[in-house]
Chain A
Amino acid sequence: MTAYCRIDHVDKSFKRGNTETLVLKAITLDVEKGEYVSIIGHSGCGKSTLLNIVAGLTPATNGGVILEGRHVNEPGPDRAVVFQNHSLLPWLTVYENVRLAVDKVFGSKKSRAERDAWTLHNLDLVQMTHAKDKRPSEISGGMKQRVGLARALAMEPKVLLLDEPFGALDALTRAHLQDTVMGLHQKLGNTVMMITHDVDEAVLLSDRIVMMTNGPEAQIGEILTVPLTRPRKRLELVADATFLKCRQRVLEFLYERHQFVEAA
């Protein structure tokens, strides 16, 4: 029981009328402090459901999540989420979106000036200070995701949850943002749990890759440790033997042993 964050025998079933579908079955996963763990699987395997259970947004049917020795079963800023579709509040400016989180989390601990400085600091971390007075509708998709990241980081979460954060972005923007996330992980030492369906992304960013079998009754099929040293450089890794080997392992798992059967 020494794990920083433990997902302990989590089952999740959805009821519809009389039929009950078991989506996740006996998921157990330990995440160490400062570790970057990716969860990869075909669409519909329940990986987003798993993240929502950790976030507390969806209750687990059986089992639970233990964070620093404490059972967590409702949402909270200690498990900040970066949502796939950014989820910024469109009536607030970039600054106000982050400030809302800062005010809520540090309202009693920090002075007004400190909260302002902390908000700006986090916007600076994701290089979004220049657009702080813009509204979400006035900035690009990648920028929105950066602000979402700043908002999550500003809460100083124990675990940072990323729900396919780069899924809706074009390839170039995605690469740029991956580098940002990698740099921030290096700098701040956050514990990160990321949902993804991109093999390269998983290998590039993660310390460990959790591969999920196909649902229903999805389980953890295999856990791969990525033994690449940090800091990692995208261009150097393209021809790196370890990188390619890891990549191959994940691809084999996804496309040979647990091929996606149904149409998505």
Chain B
Amino acid sequence: MPAGRPFAGGPITSFNRSNDPMNMPVAKSEISASIPSAPTTPVAAKVLPLPLKRKAMNTRVSATLGKIAAAVIPPLVMIVLLLTVWQVLCMRPGATLPSPSKIWTEAYDLIVDPFFVAGPQDIGLGWRVLTSLQRVAIGYGFAAVFGIMLGTLIGQSVWAMRGLDPIFQVLRTISPLAWLPISLAAFRDSQPSAIFVIFITSVWPIIINTAVGIRNIPQDYRNVAAVLRLNHAEFFWKIMIPSAAPYIFTGLRIGIGLSWLAIVAAEMLTGGVGIGFFIWDAWNSSRLPDIFIALAYIGIVGFLLDRIVAGLASIVTRGTSAN
């Protein structure tokens, strides 16, 4: 006890005053009793107040509110902080980039209404994002179907894996834009070329992860399938796909991230309507504030896409990974 007092004294007595006095004596004696065995550093005493604070809240509602606040408040604080720093840095005369306040005033129409239509080339960013998303949906959709099918075939054959895996490992490192000239030459049109770039960018991780997932189907499940005499189709749908689902979704998640990265770059080069071309257009007409707004859109949409695939994965693979 005496050894613990100096460390327990500071933070605990201060809590004693601010919280419910009924709970505190018990908590205090517990804590001061546990201190001597703990390493005698001030750190040990600092850690303890947190559970006491939660205990004081007591009700479930305030606990959930607290959780939400814990998730929302820190990022909000950081955003405000970063915006302030940015504002301070870019307010000086001679600053090359616009400050947040300048962006707000100059790109006001883009921020407040994502879905305005003022002319054939003067539309809200929401529309542009949707156009880009449509391309991603087609390209990524093809990549998902083709990637899962090919990955399944490769995963079942040791020789296909040995032969194709090194090739895929090389191909997947090629930058999306490097494929663009080839696809332009092949399709002679910007729209299918952009879609092809999405496809070729996102297909590799889907193929590779699916193949690994199929290869890693436990022998136990194969034995069960053998005893039950499942035919090929039943084995595919009832054992293979559910068993490989966590791997497949990892591939799909990497794939969607890569597609979203690729579409912006591809659209900058191919033109037309889309968030990527919008950035290029804004740059050419020196509308820097618009570019910042577009970047925010791209970031948020990319984040949402990732969350959607991750959410889908956790629904589909329920139970599979928790074995």
Flag whether B221 is at the interface (Cβ < 8 A): yes
The segment out of B74-82, B150-158, B226-234, B254-262 that lies at the interface is B226-234
Q: Determine the main DSSP class of B at the interface with A.
A: helix
Interface-forming stretch among B184-192, B281-289, B314-322?
B314-322
Pair A89/B239 contact, Cβ less than 8 Å: yes
A83-B220, A85-B220 known; A91 and B227 CB under 8 Å? Answer: no
Report if A23 contacts B (CB, 8 A): no
| Residues in B neighbouring A76, C-beta threshold 8 A | 227, 229
Specify which of B223, B243, B322, B323 is in contact with A81 (CB 8 Å cutoff).
B223
Give the interface SS of chain A, mostly helix, strand, loop or mixed. Answer: loop
* Contact assessment for A75 and B220 in the assembled complex, using a CB-CB cutoff below 8 Å: no
Task: Name B180-230 residues within 8 Å CB distance of A.
Answer: 220-221, 223-224, 226-230
On chain B, the residues within 8 Å of A216 by CB distance are none
B322 touches A104 (CB 8 A): no
State how many angstroms separate the Cβ of A26 from the closest Cβ of chain B.
Answer: 26
The answer to whether residues A100 and B223 also contact, given A75-B229, A136-B323 and a CB cut-off of 8 A, is no
Q: How far is the CA of A155 from the CA of B230 in the complex (A)?
A: 13
Q: Looking across the interface, which residue of chain A has its beta carbon closest to that of B218?
A: A87
B124 within 8 A of A: no
A91 lies within 8 A of B229 (CB)? no
Q: Does B307 contact A (CB under 8 A)?
A: no
CB proximity of A71 to chain B, nearest CB, Å: 17
The interface residues of chain A lying within 8 Å CB-to-CB of B230 are 104
Complex contacts, B223 vs chain A, CB 8 Å: 57, 75, 81, 83, 87
For A90, what are the chain B residues with a Cβ–Cβ distance below 8 Å? 319-320, 322-323
Name the residue on B nearest A84 (C-beta). B220
- Is A50 interfacial (CB-CB < 8 Å)? no
B318 adjacent to A91 (CB under 8 Å): yes
- Proximity bits, A123-150, B CB within 8 Å = 1, else 0: 0000000000001110000000000000
CB distance B228 to A105 under 8 Å?
yes
The residue on B at minimum CB distance from A56 is B226
Return the chain A residue nearest B320 by Cβ: A91
Q: Are A104 and B229 in contact (CB under 8 A)?
A: yes
Of residues 68 through 95 on chain A, the ones whose CB sits less than 8 Å from some CB of chain B are 74-77, 79-81, 83, 85, 87, 89-91
Give the contacting residue for A55; candidates B227, B229, B318, B322; CB below 8 A.
Answer: B227
**CB of B102 closer than 8 Å to a CB of A:** no
Contact residues in A for B220 (Cβ distance below 8 Å): 83, 85, 87
Given A100-B238, A136-B323, A137-B319, A89:B228 Cβ within 8 A: no
Instruction: Report the minimal beta-carbon distance from B44 to chain A, rounded to whole angstroms.
Output: 37
Give the contact-size bracket for chain B: 20 to 34
Residue on B with the closest CB to A97? B224
B272 on interface, CB distance cutoff 8 Å: no
Q: Give the one of B223, B228, B242 with max A CB within 10 A.
A: B228
Complex Cα distance A79/B245, Å?
30
Which residue, of B221, B230, B238, has the highest number of chain A Cβ atoms within 10 A? B238
Alpha-carbon gap, A57 to B234, bound state (A): 19
State the CA gap A239–B260 with chains docked (Å).
74
B317 touching A75 by the CB < 8 A rule? Answer: no
A104 to B229, CA, bound (A): 8
Q: Which residues does chain A contribute within 8 Å of B238, judged by CB atoms?
A: 89, 100
Q: Which residues in B have their C-beta under 8 angstroms from that of A77? A: 227-229
**A136 — nearest CB in chain B belongs to which residue?**
B323
The 8 Å CB contact of B319, one of A57, A104, A105, A135, is: A135
Q: Contact between B228 and A100 (Cβ–Cβ < 8 Å)?
A: yes
Contact call A87/B229, Cβ cutoff below 8 A: no
Contact A89 B221 (CB under 8 A): yes
B323 touches A137 (CB 8 A): yes
Within 8 A of B (CB), among A83-122: 83, 85, 87, 89-91, 100-101, 104-105
What is the distance, in angstroms, from B218's C-beta to the closest C-beta of chain A? 8
Instruction: Report A-chain residues with C-beta under 8 Å of the C-beta of B243.
Output: 89, 91
Instruction: Known contacts A87-B220, A89-B239, A91-B242; decide if A75 and B319 are in contact (CB<8 Å).
Output: no
Residues in chain B near residue A75, CB distance under 8 A = 223, 226-227, 229
Contact assessment for B242 and A104 in the assembled complex, using a CB-CB cutoff below 8 Å: no
Closest Cβ of chain B: how far from A131's Cβ, in Å? 14
Minimum CB distance partner of A96 in chain B: B238
Would you give 23 A-B contacts (Cβ < 8 Å), ordered by A? A55-B227, A56-B226, A57-B227, A75-B229, A77-B228, A80-B227, A81-B223, A83-B224, A89-B238, A90-B319, A90-B322, A90-B323, A91-B243, A91-B245, A100-B238, A101-B228, A104-B230, A135-B322, A136-B319, A136-B323, A137-B322, A137-B323, A155-B228
In the complex, besides A91-B243, A104-B229, 14 extra interface pairs with C-beta distance below 8 angstroms are A77-B229, A81-B227, A83-B220, A83-B223, A85-B220, A87-B224, A89-B243, A91-B319, A101-B228, A104-B228, A104-B230, A135-B318, A135-B319, A135-B322
